[in-house]
Amino acid sequence: MPFPAPEPGLVISYAYLWHRELTQKRAEGAKNRPCVIILSVERQDDHVAVTVSPITHSLPPEGRAVLEIPAAVKRHLGLDSERSWIVLDEVNQFVWPGFDLRPIRGKTGRIDYGYLPPKLFARIISGIREVWRKAQGKTVSR
């Protein structure tokens, strides 16, 4: 299966490993979920390091940094109609393409849903910068 270029703003299907799962000594995420590529950096060894933020249906507890995805954006991406949030205070980092990319059910040969609108992506990046500026973010390296 060909993989798309790992560009910021692209929403992919990925077996996201939550920080709490890592502390429980898990090596793989419990389920596949849409995640937003927030950063893509070409390394000196010609590999690409990618950072992703997870999308969740669960309303995060008070104090977590999240951004709700508008219904129109969810429709544009082909996601379900349930409310969803992009988590801003936790990310996974991995080398592209990585073994945790997953095909999307019903979209033969695809691991990506498409791109977020630029204005929404800019809000995500702004929120993530604020979280990390306050040293409140968690990173799981895979």
As a whole number, the mean pLDDT across the chain is: 95
Domain range annotation of the chain: 10-141
| Residue in 135, 3, 112, 15 with CA at minimum distance from that of residue 65 | 135
**Residue 33 binned pLDDT confidence (cut-offs 50, 70, 90):** very high
The CA–CA distances, whole Å, from 74 to 2, 27, 68 equal: 24, 29, 10
Query: In CATH, what is the architecture of 10-141?
Result: Roll (2.30)
**Residue 60 binned pLDDT confidence (cut-offs 50, 70, 90):** confident
Give me the pLDDT at residue 2, please.
80
Give me the pLDDT at residue 109, please.
87
Euclidean distance between CA atoms 19 and 29, whole angstroms: 10
Q: Is the pLDDT of residue 77 over 90?
A: yes
Tens of pLDDT, residues 111-121: 999 999 999 99
Euclidean distance between CA atoms 107 and 67, whole angstroms: 26
Instruction: Fill in the amino acid letter for 41.
Output: V
